[in-house]
Amino acid sequence: MPTSIDQENSGITHPANVSSSSKSTGLEPTNQLYDPEATNRDYDDQLDTLNALLERENRIKEGAERFLKLPLNETMRLQVESELEMATGEIESLTRKIELETSRGRRRKNGIPLNRRKFAGQVPPVGVRFRADSDDRDRDDFRTTLAQANACIKSLNSLSRPITSPLPVPSPSSTSNISATDNDRSRVDIMNRFVSILQRNLRVRYETNLPEVIQAIIPALSDRCSMRCRAAAYRLVRHALVDSNSAEELHKQPLEWFIVKSLARDNKHAIEREQVIKLIRTIVDIVSEPRDRRSITATKTIPLSEPIMRAFVAVAEHAEDPFRPICIQTLAEMVLIDIDLVARSGGIRFLLHALGEGPVEVGPILAATFLHIIDSPRTRAYLHLGTDLEIALSAITDAYGKGADHADRMRSCTKIIQLMLRTWSGLMYFCLGDQHAIKSIIDTLRIPSLETREIVLDMFFDLFNIKAPQWYKTFIDGRRLTMYRKPRAFADQLTDQKLTEKASETLKLTDQYIALLVLVFTDAGLIDALTAMLEECTTGSNLSRKATLLMAEVMRMANRVLPLGVAAKIQAVPRVFNLAADYNRGEHRIVGTSALSAIDSFNRNRLRLQPSVRNARPRANSSEDAVRRGQRQVEQVKIKMGMQMDDKTFQSSLLETQVMLTKDSAKWNFEMLQELIEGPLLNPKRLEEAIKVARFMRRLLSFFHPFTHRFSDLPRKQPNVRWVRLGCSLLTTLLASPDGIRFLASEDDLLKQIVKCFAQLDPFNGTSESDPIFSKYRLSETLTYGYFEMLGTLSKHAEGIELMEKFKFFTAFYHLSELRDREDLITAVITNLDYTIDGHPRIVLSKALTSSDVRTRLYATNHLGDLIRDSVTPVAWTLRLLLTQIYDQAPEVCELAIQFLEEACDAMEILQLVVEMQPTMDHLGEIGHPLLLKFMSTPMGFRYLYSAGYIDREMDMWFHDRNIHYVVEVEIFLSKVFSSEAVEDDEDVLAFDGVVPPHFYGEMSKTELGCQVLSEKGHFSEFSHFVKQHGLESEDPELILKLKSILWAMGNVGATEGGLPFLEEEEIIPAILDIAEHSLIPSVRGTCFFVLGLISSTSQGAEILDDYRWEATLSPLGVPTGLCIPLDLNKFISLPAWDPVGIRGDGDSRLIPPTSHTDLEVISAIENLSNTVIANAASRSLARMKSRPEYRSAFSSPSVFFRALHTVSTQRYRLPVRRYIFDLFTTELDGELVLELSACADSLRAPPTFKQSEAHISRVVSMFGLKHTRGTSESDDEDDDMDDVVDETVNDTVMITLCPVSRIIGFDN
């Protein structure tokens, strides 16, 4: 939010700006030819400019000197002296520059150019001198800027001196007001000027003495100064901070109470409060930056005191404060850096409250913050188990009785619950205490009158990643699914199946985590809760059907991702079968049988409406096979009958097409035309008759001629597309016989005219047209595009390619590829050409692949990738062309080529073929690594890379750095794909399809030679030693990250048949299981969970894990899928309980009790304000005290003010209450008062051995104040007497008992 402080800065004119403008007028080196006249002219202009500036500064200096001779008040005199000092500095700087320019000018007049070069690369003869000059100038600029900064500090110091004016003044009050306003304005100007100096020159920040700056701006922070003045002071402090040392230095300065009071001001002082908050954020940012590698692991502290933190928390708590959102986010950052400070100031309690009931938009941020806290045993000790973080569930668990208005709150709560349950920290925290939190979520489904249960059901659909197809709505509405047909065209379904085919082959990391979620929730009673929903109503409702649907989906998912034995227990649904078999109670039997029938119907219709990949290929015994076979037979009979047509029938068919009778294609019989072309005309005799005797073919082909504007002018609409198909069929028929080829070559003008159309665009031809046939408009709006399809039909036949060569089509294509703005033409050509026959079409494609236009190259590469993807067998020429694209200059073309190569190399035959070509990929850097890792998985590829030195080089890099990057990549993917905000087209999510990404050590262990190299290097033994030594590390983040990286490396090695013996030799599997069950870090346990899944992906690995009660999921054929589940679930997901850490405030925070009775009464009332029960009475009491004369001394006493400040800094007060307490006191906060407060802090602090006297402990002060006699005096003696009276009165008072009064009404004794 821009402030007027920032805006003021742009409008200030001061000598610093003058110097920067004069600096920009200095001569710059140039490579142009030396022109003596022009150079001298430029030199004269520069010199004139500098002289004009010097004259201006001299005038300022003379004016200032004259001013100083006049009688001035102190403020004005100090301002004039400051201007004089700055003007003198500018005069010295300008004089030096003029001398420098004059010496350069002399050299120019003597014919020596400063920077003349005869040819590129020649060193200028005076280059060394020029560099020295520029260095001197930079040094002078720094010195000047530093001098200006010091001058600003002096000016600020001088403005804070007491004003003594020797002149007689007419009105003291008006003069003081004017001088105060002038002072403020002067301070703001100087501070803004100082900030602009610090912004321009970073080095000055490091040279500036921060304590001096603070001492200079403390007067500007006093209550007497304006809001803008205080804001400018905070802004200056913020810009003066450079590193953590300066932040520590700031912590020692006496700014604490100024910041506390500024934060407590109302919204009229928004500019000032904004600058304070920016200052606090700057301190947090500086502390959060790592100073070096070692400091990453060190625990950091934020140099802010508890009073400032409590004031900051009060702003964050106030719901109506405009700065609340930024304060909440800043507190969330602070918790991650220095949790102890935030805990001491009550920030954690507030953040938990904000997570449960605060603004919806900050919920995910706070949830992620607390999840990070849970991940470490040191930080989670600040949370109370079972009460703190569970507040995030309150909108769901406490929804009963809150009505439909609460629905939005519940939806936002479900997003937070999903976010937390999709992380290891959240899942394991909520599983503590016998899964109490998870059971409480599930139990909300059992409340019959809760109308918002559908929101909870939707949460489970999202949590288990269940994607609802279109027909779910039909199922939930209770309509029959048997009448529901396929919603999309068959072609669309095939496309979707192709896209999902690869994804369905292997289970993903997300599936492994969801398997655990399903196990946890079914173990906590989810199926029973859903069954309870079904029992509510025998007739069934949308809600109960949705519950049935969720039950069916959970059972299906269990069958897919869980081991057979575990899944069978879930799928048994004993309670539903018990209901169905309960013959004693009819309603139970109805509910049970309806549920089983619905689940069965759902499963059958799912298979029918969503055929799996296995069913995508048409089977020989499928129900539709007879229909397809019949259609083929009918087509063959038609063709056979057509070719055997007699003369009379053929003649009548030709006439029936209407082609011989009219040129209007709308009147032609299209069906008859199609039958003739695809039937009788395939007979050479009939074709010859149609060409020579009836002249039918000539009339038909003339319709397709571009220059007749009949076919080429038809609009590009769906009904007209059939003419394009007819044209392609016609060319196919003509190419089938020698007569047809001869007719196309010599008797008809179709091909000749199409070539002329291309010539209209050819820049080498010179016959350009204003409206060419192949214009952009015609290609997009008319059937002109069909000519490209026809040429594609020609290119499918060797005879057609000969015709194209004869008419020089390929020459035209080569010329078209040079057109800059017509990439649509070349893309149409390469899309429609057929490449099965070796020849010019492949050359056209290769020319497009090396076109000068990047978009054309991208399109051609994409098309080439599609050709490779669609080819049934590996084609060497396409792979060779694709390999040339990895050397393209444009990185996007390279990346696309690599992407297609990676996809193609999934097939072992293609991978072998590519490896045999031995491409060089060193230049690709990071994007080439995945492909090279695939090369490593084959013996030939590994030998090739090993001989090229790639293996040794990469092995060292993975050992030291890349292992860490791999962990980060996987964890970022999992956090993104599981976050509620994840979008499907997120680049990072798409770049990683969820299958475990290839790991160098894993690919290496796939070959025998790789295992040998791994064994020789000894890396695996080092890994196992580290795991055994640091497996249960819970403090050092760097060691924990390295442990995760090594676990992933071991898992990838263990996932191969050749790598598993490494794990057995080192006996590392028991160590990994021990970490999974005993580590204090949830994310490390989660890493072990995924790693054990990798180890279980081989049959031998699955058998080993089975001995340790970790069961692998197998496919129906008994092949391990790479998922592994602990049979003893609690041992894995339960973290050990902890005792909350005792939060201790700032040391020695107790004060000696006040001796004065009035002081004690005021402080007691202020303390009562923190108690919401008696706060109103306390505020009335304080208002009454404020109006009485005997209390005036208390409300103006620095010691009482310090006690009040100490109270609000050690207890929780809401922001309006803090504001009210500050408004009670008549003291003005300034530098002098801060010194007095500092003295009070020393004198009033209670020593560690101090114990309160019995008199003070037993003293009870009324929140309504004391009754005073009329003769009350403010002297100490009378106060002491009053104290005695109060003590006696209090001691005589009967204690209030809190027992309720018991009365029996209606009976007499």
Contact assessment for residue 973 and residue 989, using Cβ atoms and an 8 Å cutoff = yes
For every residue of 582-614, which 3-state class applies, written as one string?
A: CCCCHHHHHHHHHHHHHHHHHHHHHHHHCCCHH
pLDDT attached to residue 430: 93
Instruction: Report the alpha-carbon distance of residue 589 to residue 1024 in Å, rounded.
Output: 58
pLDDT tens across 732-753, in order? 888 888 888 888 888 888 888 8
Average pLDDT score over the chain: 79
What phi and psi, each to the nearest 5 degrees, are found at residue 1069?
A: -65, -45
pLDDT tens across 657-668, in order? 888 888 888 888
Query: Percentages helix, strand, coil for the chain, rounded to the nearest 5?
Result: 70, 0, 30
Q: Is 488 helix (H, G, I), strand (E, B) or coil?
A: coil
Contact assessment for residue 1104 and residue 401, using Cβ atoms and an 8 Å cutoff = no
What phi and psi, each to the nearest 5 degrees, are found at residue 1176?
A: -65, -45
Q: Which of 1002-1006, 1103-1107, 1297-1301 has the lowest mean pLDDT?
A: 1297-1301
pLDDT attached to residue 967: 92
The answer for residues whose C-beta is within 8 angstroms of residue 770's C-beta and 6 or more apart is none
Instruction: Report the alpha-carbon distance of residue 779 to residue 712 in Å, rounded.
Output: 9
pLDDT tens across 924-983, in order? 777 778 888 888 888 888 888 888 888 888 899 998 888 999 999 888 888 888 775 544
What phi and psi, each to the nearest 5 degrees, are found at residue 1012?
A: -65, -45
The rounded percent of the chain whose pLDDT value lies above 70 is 79
Contact assessment for residue 306 and residue 1209, using Cβ atoms and an 8 Å cutoff = yes
Instruction: Report the alpha-carbon distance of residue 333 to residue 322 in Å, rounded.
Output: 19
Does the pLDDT at position 306 exceed 80?
yes
Contact assessment for residue 537 and residue 544, using Cβ atoms and an 8 Å cutoff = yes
Comparing 918 with 432, which gets the higher pLDDT? 432
Comparing 1062 with 914, which gets the higher pLDDT? 1062
Q: Rounded mean pLDDT of 1234-1239?
A: 90
Instruction: Report the alpha-carbon distance of residue 595 to residue 545 in Å, rounded.
Output: 8
pLDDT attached to residue 201: 85
pLDDT tens across 767-813, in order? 566 778 888 888 888 888 888 888 888 888 888 888 888 888 888 88
Nearest C-alpha neighbor of 329 from the set 271, 382, 369: 369
Nearest C-alpha neighbor of 768 from the set 781, 759, 780: 759
The structure's pTM equals: 0.75
Residue whose pair of structure tokens reads 């490779």 in the numeric block: 868
Q: Is 782 helix (H, G, I), strand (E, B) or coil?
A: strand
Residue whose pair of structure tokens reads 């209550």 in the numeric block: 223
The answer for residues whose C-beta is within 8 angstroms of residue 961's C-beta and 6 or more apart is none
Cα→Cα distances 353→309, 393, 1144, 1162, 1299, Å: 17, 12, 21, 31, 33
pLDDT attached to residue 762: 72
Q: What are residue 806's DSSP bridge partners?
A: none
Does the pLDDT at position 1136 exceed 70?
yes
Contact assessment for residue 1063 and residue 1057, using Cβ atoms and an 8 Å cutoff = no
For every residue of 323-383, which 3-state class applies, written as one string?
A: CHHHHHHHHHHHHHHCHHHHHHCCHHHHHHHHHHHCCHHHHHHHHHHHHHHHCCHHHHCCC
pLDDT attached to residue 167: 39
pLDDT attached to residue 1254: 52
Cα→Cα distances 1201→662, 1093, 1174, 1222, Å: 108, 65, 22, 9
Which DSSP helix (H) or strand (E) runs through 1146? none
Does the pLDDT at position 119 exceed 60?
no
Mark out the alpha helices in 1067-1214 (DSSP H runs). 1069-1078, 1082-1095, 1099-1107, 1129-1133, 1157-1168, 1175-1187, 1192-1195, 1198-1210
In single-letter form, the type of residue at position 108 comes to: R
pLDDT tens across 603-621, in order? 777 777 665 444 334 444 4
pLDDT confidence bin for 632, thresholds 50/70/90 = low
Instruction: Report the alpha-carbon distance of residue 150 to residue 204 in Å, rounded.
Output: 10
pLDDT attached to residue 874: 80
pLDDT tens across 229-284, in order? 999 999 999 999 999 999 999 999 999 999 999 999 999 999 999 999 999 999 99
Helix axes 542-561, 586-609, angle to 10 degrees: 60
Does the pLDDT at position 725 exceed 70?
yes
Nearest C-alpha neighbor of 1046 from the set 1021, 1070, 1017, 1012: 1021
pLDDT confidence bin for 1153, thresholds 50/70/90 = confident
pLDDT attached to residue 11: 40
pLDDT attached to residue 1107: 93
The rounded percent of the chain whose pLDDT value lies above 90 is 29
pLDDT attached to residue 1301: 52
Cα 948 versus chain centre, distance: 39
Does the pLDDT at position 373 exceed 70?
yes
Does the pLDDT at position 9 exceed 90?
no
Q: Which DSSP state fits 253?
A: S
Nearest C-alpha neighbor of 819 from the set 786, 853, 789: 853
Q: Which of 362-376, 412-426, 673-687, 1043-1057 has the lowest mean pLDDT?
A: 673-687
pLDDT confidence bin for 178, thresholds 50/70/90 = low
Residues in the chain, overall count: 1309
Does the pLDDT at position 496 exceed 80?
no
